[in-house]
């Protein structure tokens, strides 16, 4: 798991060409004015899901993990908490859904706060719980770049 601000994205280009393309997309795209939806960056290897929502209480959150893709979760507007932890410390509560590349998990993780301009990279070994309110529910506009591993 990596947390930083988009102004430092160049520091993470070394993660590989796909990550670099994902970060460059976030750096040069006006996410706030994109409609919610899925946009291809490089076919099925790199794409972005743009979404907005109200954050929710931690009791309503679910830990999840992916096998095929890493996430670059970018907060374009707002703030939220995100849970995280090593997948080794979690237990699956659903079967892995291959078509959506997701498994839901239970376990205890730690939380970090992210605000406008921040990004968090979750690799396949990272369980994560997005969309959690900090003090109360608030509006978030987010782009999640999916990078095929």
Q: What pLDDT is attached to residue 36?
A: 98
What is the model's pLDDT at position 147?
98
Cβ(147)–Cβ(69) under 8 Å? yes
Give domain 2-148's CATH number out of 2.60.40.10, 1.10.3720.10, 2.60.120.370, 3.30.930.10.
Answer: 2.60.120.370
Please state the domain extents for the chain.
2-148
Provide mean pLDDT across the span 105-124: 97
- Which pLDDT score is estimated for 33? 96
pLDDT for 63-113, tens place per residue?
999 999 999 999 999 999 999 999 999 999 999 999 999 999 999 999 999
* Average per-residue pLDDT for the chain: 97
Tokens 């990596």 map to which residue?
2
Place of tokens 């078509």: 99
What pTM did the predictor assign? 0.96
């Amino acid at each position: 798991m990596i947390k930083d601000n988009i102004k430092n994205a160049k520091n993470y280009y070394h993660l590989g060409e796909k990550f670099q393309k994902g970060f460059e997309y976030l750096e040069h795209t006006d996410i706030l004015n994109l409609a919610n939806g899925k946009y291809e960056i490089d076919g099925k290897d790199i794409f972005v899901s743009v979404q907005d929502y109200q954050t929710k209480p931690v009791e309503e959150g679910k830990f999840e993990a992916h096998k095929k893709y890493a996430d670059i979760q970018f907060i374009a507007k707002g703030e939220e908490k995100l849970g995280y932890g090593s997948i080794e410390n979690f237990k699956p509560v659903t079967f892995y859904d291959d078509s959506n590349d997701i498994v839901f998990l239970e376990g205890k993780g730690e939380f970090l706060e992210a605000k406008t301009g921040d990004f968090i990279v979750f690799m396949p070994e990272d369980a994560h719980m997005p969309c959690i309110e900090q003090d109360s529910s608030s509006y978030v506009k987010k782009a999640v770049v999916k990078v095929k591993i």
